[in-house]
Amino acid sequence: MTLAELKRGDKAYITKVRGRGAFRKRIIEMGFVTGKQVIVTKEAPMKDPIQYNIMGYEVSLRRSEASLIEVTQNLEFKLDSDNYNGTLELESALNIVQHQHGKTINVALVGNPNCGKTTIFNYASHSREKVGNYGGITVDAKLATFKHRGYTFKLVDLPGTYSITSYSPEELYVRDHIINELPDVILNVVDTTNLERNLYLTTQLIDMDMKVVVALNMWDEFQASGDNFDYEALSRMLGIPMIHTVGSKGNGIGRLFNKIIDVYEDEEPVLRHFHINYGNSIERAIRILQEVINKPDNIALTSRISPRYLSLKLLEQDSQELDRVKKYCTNADEIISLAMKEAAVIEGDRKENMETIITDDKYGFIAGGLKETFKPSQKINKFQRSKFIDSVVTGKFLSYPIFLLAMWLTFEATFAIGNYPMEWITELMNWLGSQLDQILPAGIFRDLLVDGIIGGVGGVIVFLPNILILFFFITLMEASGYMARIAFIVDKLMHKIGLHGKSFVPMLMGFGCNVPAIMATRTIENKNDRLVTMLIIPFMSCSARYPVYVLIISAFFPFYQGTILFGIYLFGIMLAGIIAWIFKKTLFKVNTLPFVMELPPYRMPRPKAVLKQTWFKGEQYLKKMGSVILLASIIIWAMGYFPTGKKYEQEFQKKKAFVENSYQKTLNSNTLDSDQIQQLTSERDRKIQILKNQLASEKQENSMIGRIGHFIEPVIRPLGFDWKMGVSLLAGSAAKEVVVSTMGVLYTPTSSGNARESLPERLKEQVYKSGPKKGEKVYSPLVAMGFLLFVLIYFPCIAVIAAIKNETGRWKWSLFLAVYTTVLAWIVAFLVYQGGSLLGF
């Protein structure tokens, strides 16, 4: 809670004063210090400023200033005198003792992509955010809370960024978070094996005059390189404490957060305010600008942003800071005019633009500091090893074959390895259904449990092993650094369709889930490129579509299963390329930006981390089973169960009685031996089971779901689909796994009479019961292939539609995506079925 949130008459105790510089000094001098009681006495007519009573006198603060003071209304206290007369307002009568365990330290994790920032975040907070060895993993702030040494840490994992300028969305996001949220301490995670580049961001944090602790991460790799780094000397030089860590193993994490506590409590001897010297002309310009920025009327801005940092950004003509000055400074015109004048003088002297000059000076400062503290070894380092590997995997001749082979092996393994546990789970589901069928009395509850829940959810859960295997291989490629190479090698192909390799990274992420993939497009600087990428990501087969693929391929394409699955994924990529090319030639005619992306060194994936991330995905899949898919299965079952169809039930009872009577006389005769009796009994039970299946089919045809299915059937009939396939596709708009669970509920056993046969077997035996195709199989390989492609292309799930609306800010593009993908899916499935039929397939 902040002081600004209190109402008139409220009393509270100050727990923390945020803000910086002159504002913080002034506010503390006025008595706003930790533990002091403050009372809201009145508000101005326009609700701003607000008058407070503290230490016996009245003080007025603006809401913007009061929002930087954190308070609590729940604070322990004890009397320091026996003469206490009950006057709570007199703070002098109290010895206020704040809970040490109530202290909260807000920490923002900042660092370059691939520096291990999210790994430290996960280890410290026991979170399980996605970790990969390529840029763009963290595209939004992730928040976690944990306790350490009596303090509550609120960690915010900010997007990976190389700087905090105004070029990309993630850079702006990081800068705005630091300025708006004012974290108590910034944890700057640095890849120790690449100090020069990583320390550039550190110099920008120095300019911002924030409390910073540097985590020298990947220290084990640095030590293996043989380099020598006197980080303690550099730490003293910069006034920033540094702790070496190995985030993936948890080494040094405890010491790191102990150091953050010391910095927060101002007990760290190394910590000091430090300025990078940019040379006489720039330093003179900074002093002049600071004088006009540091006016009392500009306190709302200078309480959050260092005037020195603001001066540097204004000299660079940073658009974000120019807008901020115009919004918050009463003398904005004077400040901006002076900044332009000083920048013009410096640029004239140095013959270069200000941004380049300041960047060069920063790297010059870094080079000077490392020259005194860093000595490289002569050993072959990981970058040289990566360069050697890249000469093969990104080379002219082998890059694409290796990429295609890696993807093919991934899909082949999901069947070759996954089929065994899939069969075990199928048998388990069948056994469970049979047991419940025998134990429970006939009625609506048994039907719901056996046909609705086990038939629906059980039909999807069998694909868990395949999902785990798929994610294992994808995680392996991400963790090793190979995913970044894929983006590199496809850049030329992407450029031909008007995009670049950086767009391919979110597309690859789409193989896991389209929603985070759409969020990952924030790393694409060009607005139109970003929008085109979002509109083609749904062609990337997410894990939700995977159970549908496995079901249909297992049932109708028993040979070359992995190859067909690979072909489906490849077709999605190719279709995305074609659509992107069309969009760039029509709707979005804008040239793309140059392709700039880091190729991190190859790293040996750690088995524990890979298995942990793989299981996390499997756990998400299981949670979906117990929520979305369970609910959808129950709804689909209910719509297929009601109305109950009593006339069909009566007809069934008549036919059942006829079958039983026709066998009863023979079974009662004394001329049969035991084998004959068993054979006749089995034959009777099979015929009764067929009648039950016919009853279920007739009731379903005339149920609510059946009526909906027959209503949409004319639209899908040209594709070779029956009404049950149409209903399954309709249900799949919520989540693609629901397609399988719906099929599990709708497709009842056929004439074989086997009530517990697997879903693939049921699909293969389905026949048309009426119309011109009566008696023909519903599914053929041609229909199955059309169905697979329809699922690949059509309407993405509701979550994707919502994600695109959130990212673009408009429903226009969400609705456009929903319509064009569904129309395109219909056209492709139509061409496959009708074209294949004409060719005799």
Angle in degrees, CA 287, 292, 297, rounded to 5: 140
Say if CB 194 and CB 244 are below 8 A apart. no
* Cβ-proximal residues to 569 (8 Å cutoff; 6+ apart), any chain: 407, 411, 511, 541
Per-residue model confidence (pLDDT) at position 96: 39
Nearest to 298 by CA among 274, 341, 273, 334: 334
**Residue linked to tokens 């996954």:** 418
**Average pLDDT for 322-350:** 92
Which residues face 37 on adjacent strands? 13
Angular region, 72: left φ>0, alpha ψ -120 to 50, beta rest: beta
For 216-221, what is the mean pLDDT? 92
* Residue 514 or residue 83, greater confidence: 514
Give the pairing type, strands 57-61 and 11-17: unpaired
Full 3-state SS string of 597-648: CCCCCCCCCCHHHHHHHHHHHHHHHHHHHHHHHHHHHHHHHHHHHCCCCHHH
Q: And the tokens for 535?
A: 């509109």
Residue 88: pLDDT band with limits 50, 70, 90:
very low
What are the residues whose beta carbons fall under 8 Å from the beta carbon of 83, sequence distance 6 or more?
Answer: none
- Bigger pLDDT: 744 vs 158: 158
Bridge partners (DSSP) listed for residue 152: 104, 147
Please say whether the beta carbons of 217 and 245 come within 8 A.
yes
Up-side HSE of residue 107: CA atoms within 13 Å toward CB?
Answer: 35
Q: What gap in Å lies between CA 453 and CA 449, rounded to an integer?
A: 5
Alpha carbon distances (Å) from 838 to 490, 715, 772, 785, 826? 36, 20, 18, 15, 18
Tell me 298's DSSP state. Answer: G
Out of 223-227, 467-471, 721-725, the most confident range is: 721-725
Q: Say if residue 594's pLDDT is above 70.
A: no
State the Cα angle at 32 between 30 and 37, rounded to 5°.
Answer: 125
Mean pLDDT across 613-627: 74
Residue 10 DSSP SS3: coil
Confidence at residue 76, expressed as pLDDT on a 0 to 100 scale: 52
Directed axis angle between helix 723-731 and helix 630-641, to 10°? 140
Rounded Cα distance between 441 and 439, Å, is: 7
Helices (H) and strands (E) in the chain, counts: 38, 15
Nearest CA to 799 out of 734, 751, 731, 745 is that of 734
pLDDT tens, position by position, 19-36? 766 677 777 767 787 778
Instruction: For residues 69 and 270, give the distance between their C-alpha atoms in angstroms, rounded to a whole number.
Output: 27
- Structure confidence at residue 93 (pLDDT): 36
Answer whether 98's CB lies under 8 Å from 13's CB: yes
Q: What is the mean pLDDT of residues 431-459?
A: 82
Instruction: Give the confidence band of 79 by pLDDT, cuts at 50, 70, 90.
Output: very low
Max alpha carbon distance in the chain (Å)? 119
Percent of the chain with pLDDT over 70: 88
- Report how far residue 489's alpha carbon sits from residue 208's, in angstroms, rounded to the nearest whole number: 38
Task: Give the model confidence (pLDDT) of 107-142 as tens digits.
Answer: 999 998 878 888 899 888 887 665 554 455 555 678
pLDDT digits (tens, 9 = 90+) for 549-570: 999 999 999 888 889 999 999 9
815 pLDDT exceeds 80?
yes
Tell me the average pLDDT of the chain: 82
Specify whether the backbone of 498 is left (phi greater than 0), alpha (psi in -120 to 50) or beta.
left
Question: What's residue 500's pLDDT?
Answer: 63
Query: 65-74, 237-246, 254-263, 706-715: which range is least confident on average?
Result: 65-74
* Residues 110 and 217: beta-carbon distance below 8 Å: no
Looking at the chain, how many residues does it have? 841
Q: What pLDDT shows up at residue 65? A: 80
Dig out the tokens for 48 from the structure. Answer: 């701003």
Average pLDDT over residues 220-225: 86
Predicted local confidence at residue 162, as pLDDT: 83
pLDDT of residue 89: 38
- What DSSP character marks residue 658? H
Alpha helix ranges (H) inside 720-797: 723-731, 737-746, 759-765, 781-793
Residues 722-760: tens digit of each pLDDT? 988 998 898 888 778 788 878 887 886 654 545 557 788
Residue 449 in contact with residue 734, Cβ under 8 Å? no
Which phi and psi (to 5°) does residue 67 adopt? -70, -10
Q: How many other β-carbons are positioned within 10 Å of the β-carbon of residue 58?
A: 11
How far is Cα 459 from Cα 632, in angstroms, rounded to an integer? Answer: 13
Query: Which are the contacts of 710, defined by CB distance < 8 A and separation ≥ 6?
Result: 701, 723
- The residue ranges of DSSP E strands in 347-398, in sequence order, are 374-375
Which residues are CB-neighbours of 322 under 8 A, at least 6 positions away? 314, 336
Q: Are 600 and 133 in contact (CB under 8 A)?
A: yes
SS (HEC) of 474-522: HHHHHHHCHHHHHHHHCHHHHHHCCCCHHHHHHHHHCCCCHHHHHHHHH
Residue 575 CA, chain-centre distance (Å), reads: 24
Determine what percent of the chain is predicted with pLDDT higher than 90: 27
Whether the link from the prior residue into 643 is cis, omega within 30° of 0, is yes
Give the other-Cβ count within 10 Å of 462's Cβ: 27
The dihedral over CA atoms of 702, 707, 711, 716, expressed in degrees to the nearest 10, equals: -80
pLDDT recorded at residue 651: 82
pLDDT band (50, 70, 90) for residue 381: low
* Tokens of residue 428, six digits: 């388990």
Indicate if the alpha-carbon torsion angle 204, 205, 210, 214 is positive or negative: negative
- What is this structure's pTM? 0.65
DSSP assignment letter at 750: -
CA distance 309 to 330: 19
Place of tokens 């005799």: 840
**37-43 and 50-54: which strand pairing?**
antiparallel
